[in-house]
Protein backbone atom coordinates (compact mmCIF):
# COMPACT_ATOMS: atom_id res chain seq x y z
CA UNK A 1 0.00 0.00 0.00
CA UNK A 2 2.94 2.32 0.74
CA UNK A 3 4.08 1.88 -2.82
CA UNK A 4 0.66 2.62 -4.28
CA UNK A 5 0.38 5.80 -2.19
CA UNK A 6 3.88 6.87 -3.22
CA UNK A 7 3.08 6.24 -6.89
CA UNK A 8 -0.21 8.14 -6.87
CA UNK A 9 0.88 11.16 -4.82
CA UNK A 10 4.24 11.45 -6.59
CA UNK A 11 2.43 11.15 -9.91
CA UNK A 12 -0.10 13.83 -9.01
CA UNK A 13 2.62 16.30 -7.98
CA UNK A 14 4.35 15.72 -11.32
CA UNK A 15 1.07 16.17 -13.21
CA UNK A 16 0.59 19.55 -11.48
CA UNK A 17 4.07 20.44 -12.75
CA UNK A 18 3.16 19.23 -16.25
CA UNK A 19 -0.03 21.31 -16.31
CA UNK A 20 1.97 24.39 -15.28
CA UNK A 21 4.51 23.55 -17.99
CA UNK A 22 1.85 23.19 -20.71
CA UNK A 23 -0.63 25.86 -19.66
CA UNK A 24 1.65 28.68 -18.56
CA UNK A 25 4.83 30.15 -19.96
CA UNK A 26 6.73 29.03 -16.86
CA UNK A 27 10.14 27.55 -17.56
CA UNK A 28 11.21 24.41 -15.64
CA UNK A 29 13.53 26.46 -13.39
CA UNK A 30 10.62 28.67 -12.31
CA UNK A 31 8.45 25.63 -11.63
CA UNK A 32 11.15 24.09 -9.46
CA UNK A 33 11.56 27.35 -7.50
CA UNK A 34 7.79 27.56 -7.12
CA UNK A 35 7.57 23.93 -5.92
CA UNK A 36 10.33 24.29 -3.33
CA UNK A 37 8.85 27.51 -1.96
CA UNK A 38 5.41 25.91 -1.91
CA UNK A 39 6.85 22.93 -0.04
CA UNK A 40 8.27 25.27 2.61
CA UNK A 41 4.99 27.17 3.00
CA UNK A 42 2.79 24.06 3.08
CA UNK A 43 5.07 22.49 5.69
CA UNK A 44 4.96 25.63 7.82
CA UNK A 45 1.17 25.55 7.66
CA UNK A 46 1.19 21.91 8.76
CA UNK A 47 -0.32 20.69 5.49
CA UNK A 48 2.65 18.87 3.98
CA UNK A 49 3.56 16.66 6.96
CA UNK A 50 0.33 14.61 6.72
CA UNK A 51 0.98 14.15 2.98
CA UNK A 52 4.48 12.85 3.79
CA UNK A 53 3.05 10.48 6.39
CA UNK A 54 0.56 9.20 3.85
CA UNK A 55 2.73 8.98 0.75
CA UNK A 56 6.31 8.60 2.03
CA UNK A 57 8.72 8.96 -0.87
CA UNK A 58 5.79 10.08 -3.04
CA UNK A 59 5.94 13.37 -1.13
CA UNK A 60 9.65 13.58 -0.21
CA UNK A 61 11.16 12.72 -3.60
CA UNK A 62 9.44 15.48 -5.66
CA UNK A 63 10.89 18.99 -5.19
CA UNK A 64 8.28 20.17 -2.65
CA UNK A 65 9.89 17.49 -0.46
CA UNK A 66 13.08 19.55 -0.53
CA UNK A 67 11.07 22.51 0.78
CA UNK A 68 9.57 20.19 3.39
CA UNK A 69 13.06 19.21 4.59
CA UNK A 70 14.11 22.88 4.73
CA UNK A 71 11.08 24.02 6.72
CA UNK A 72 11.08 21.03 9.05
CA UNK A 73 14.79 21.50 9.69
CA UNK A 74 14.30 25.16 10.61
CA UNK A 75 11.38 24.43 12.93
CA UNK A 76 13.22 21.57 14.71
CA UNK A 77 16.38 23.64 15.05
CA UNK A 78 14.50 26.66 16.45
CA UNK A 79 12.99 24.30 19.04
CA UNK A 80 16.39 22.97 20.13
CA UNK A 81 18.82 25.85 19.45
CA UNK A 82 16.64 28.94 19.71
CA UNK A 83 17.02 31.88 17.34
CA UNK A 84 20.27 30.64 15.71
CA UNK A 85 18.18 27.78 14.37
CA UNK A 86 16.51 30.23 12.00
CA UNK A 87 19.78 30.45 10.07
CA UNK A 88 21.18 26.96 10.61
CA UNK A 89 18.18 24.64 10.50
CA UNK A 90 17.29 24.68 6.82
CA UNK A 91 20.71 24.10 5.32
CA UNK A 92 21.67 21.64 8.05
CA UNK A 93 18.68 19.44 7.24
CA UNK A 94 19.38 19.57 3.50
CA UNK A 95 23.20 19.55 3.71
CA UNK A 96 23.51 15.93 2.58
CA UNK A 97 21.39 16.53 -0.50
CA UNK A 98 23.14 19.76 -1.48
CA UNK A 99 26.63 18.33 -0.94
CA UNK A 100 25.65 15.19 -2.85
CA UNK A 101 24.35 17.15 -5.81
CA UNK A 102 27.56 19.24 -5.94
CA UNK A 103 29.98 16.32 -5.53
CA UNK A 104 28.19 13.77 -7.74
CA UNK A 105 27.34 16.47 -10.28
CA UNK A 106 30.97 17.57 -10.47
CA UNK A 107 32.37 14.06 -10.79
CA UNK A 108 29.85 12.97 -13.42
CA UNK A 109 30.40 16.15 -15.42
CA UNK A 110 34.17 15.52 -15.30
CA UNK A 111 33.82 11.97 -16.57
CA UNK A 112 31.13 12.36 -19.21
CA UNK A 113 30.72 14.73 -22.12
CA UNK A 114 27.44 15.95 -23.56
CA UNK A 115 26.25 13.94 -26.51
CA UNK A 116 26.71 15.84 -29.77
CA UNK A 117 23.36 17.20 -30.80
CA UNK A 118 22.09 15.39 -33.88
Partner 1 sequence: MDKAKQIKQNYKEMVEKASPSSNMGVNCAWAFFVGGTICVIGQIITEVLKTYGYAKDDAAMMTTVILIFIGALLTGLNIYDNIGKYAGAGSIVPITGFSNSVVAPAMEYKKEGYILGMGARMFTVAGPVIVYGVISSVVVGIIYYFFK
48-77 binders of partner 1 (CB under 8 A): 55-58, 60-63, 65-67, 69-71, 73-75, 77
- Residues 2-31 as x/- pattern, contact with partner 1 by CB under 8 A: xx--xxxxxxxxxxxxxxxxxx----xx-x
Q: Which of 49, 51, 106, 118 is close enough to bind partner 1 by CB under 8 A?
A: 106
Q: How far is residue 115's CA from residue 118's CA, in Å, rounded to a whole number?
A: 9
Task: Measure the CA–CA gap between 97 and 21, rounded to whole angstroms.
Answer: 25
Q: Residue 40 Cβ, how far from partner 1 at the closest point, in Å?
A: 4
Q: Which of residues 78-97 bind partner 1 (CB under 8 A)?
A: 78-79, 82-83, 85-87, 89-91, 94, 96-97
Inter-CA distances, 72 with 18, 40, 92, Å: 27, 8, 11
Comparison of 50 and 98: residue with beta carbon closer to partner 1: 98
- Closest to partner 1 by CB, 25 vs 63, is 63
Nearest to 85 by CA among 100, 67, 64, 71: 71
SS3 53: helix
Amino acid sequence: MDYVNAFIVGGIICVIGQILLDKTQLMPARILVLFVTLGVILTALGIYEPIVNFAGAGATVPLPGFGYALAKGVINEVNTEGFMGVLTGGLKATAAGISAVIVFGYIIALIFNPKAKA
